Amino acid sequence: MARDNKRGRLLDGKLVAKALKESIKKEVAEMVDRGEEGPHLAAVIVGNDPASETYVASKEKAARGVGMVSSVYRYPEDTTEKELMDVIDFLNRDPEVTGFIVQLPLPKHINEDKIIERIKPSKDVDGFNPVNVGKMAIGQPGFVSATPAGIMEILRYYKIDTEGKNCVVLGRSNIVGSPMSILMSKKSNPGNATVTLCHSKTENLDEITRQADILITAIGSPQFVKADMVKEGAVVIDVGIHRIEDKSSKKGYKLVGDVDFDAVKEKASYITPVPGGVGPMTIASLLNNTLKAYKSEYYG
């Protein structure tokens, strides 16, 4: 395990994301210099969920920041499933659009699975389509969803030794927990770990998390992981992001993760902060997927 004597060295996602975005920006600039259009990332948003608006605005800004074309397709809350399918078909066919995402969650009357399945795998830069999920599961090249891809990039950047280690993943979502557990179990670097996936029905959770050399938390519960659940010297990756009340802050709230950061950092060898850990990597990985889509790295 790459460790030093200091406790709680930060895994600085902002720094890793900056490095990745700079390399993407350079490549896009070279494409544009050659007279090419360069990659175009589109986002579809249905309804007016404020969190989704914020995420999509960040993705748009980041895409433009690396010189990509970015467009956002906005539709009202009462858009029908059929209308949304038609939008997807249009984007699937549009040769100007390199890749696109449909921001989740969608309004309740729309079946998310059906929508995700409709996205052409070669344009599915979120890596949510079952074809891309399946490719990842069997170790074939394809789009890996952005948060797990970003976490792998952080582990690679900091040369965290994962081979043969106990990796415990908390949460089994399709977007993070499940793909993360698969990636960490693969014969790869990072990877090659012995993986345990825990969820809401897991018994003796604390005993399991205390075995973790690498603990990845994606459970959506603020500051759930306490210091007594963490092994001395563990590497802790916190995917959660939550607003909790903080009267001492001007905004009246602060952002925290799934981990009780201040206490856990005293035990961990490495830890991601919230904000500034996994979050920035998610967007950088989405841009990286879009660049790969443009270069047709996976789908000819």
- Site residues for ligand GUN per CB under 6 A: 101-104, 126, 146, 175
Nearest to 153 by CA among 245, 280, 64: 280
CA dist 284 and 154 (Å) reads: 11
Task: Confirm whether 126 is a catalytic residue.
Answer: yes
Name residue 106's beta-bridge partners.
Answer: none
Distance CA 263, CA 94 (A): 50
Q: Which of 63, 102 has the CB closer to ligand GUN?
A: 102
CB 146 to ligand GUN: min, Å = 5
Catalytic residue among 21, 123, 126, 231: 126
The Cα 254–Cα 243 span in angstroms is 6
- Of the candidates 290, 276, 287, the one whose C-alpha atom is nearest the C-alpha of residue 12 is 276
Which of 21, 59, 135, 267 is an active site residue?
59
Measured between alpha carbons, how far is 204 from 188 in angstroms, rounded to an integer? 29
- In the complex, minimum distance from the CB of residue 252 to ligand GUN, in angstroms, rounded to a whole number: 24
In the bound state with ligand GUN, the residue whose beta carbon lies nearer, of 55 and 270, is 55
As measured in angstroms, the least distance from the Cβ of 242 to ligand GUN is: 14
Active site residue 223: no
Q: How far is the CB of 175 from ligand GUN (least distance, A)?
A: 6
Between 184 and 218, name the residue whose CB sits nearer to ligand GUN. Answer: 218
Residue 168 near residue 207 (C-beta atoms within 8 A): no
User: Residue 275: is the preceding peptide bond cis (ω within 30°)?
Assistant: yes
Q: Tell me whether residue 126 or residue 153 sits nearer to ligand GUN (CB atom).
A: 126
Residue 101 φ/ψ, nearest 5 degrees = -125, 150
- Please say if 59 is a catalytic residue: yes
CB of 156 to ligand GUN, least distance (A): 20
DSSP state of 225: B
- Residue number with CB closer to ligand GUN (218 or 225): 218
Q: Closest residue to ligand GUN, Cβ-based?
A: 104
> Could you give the residue numbers annotated as active site?
59, 103, 126
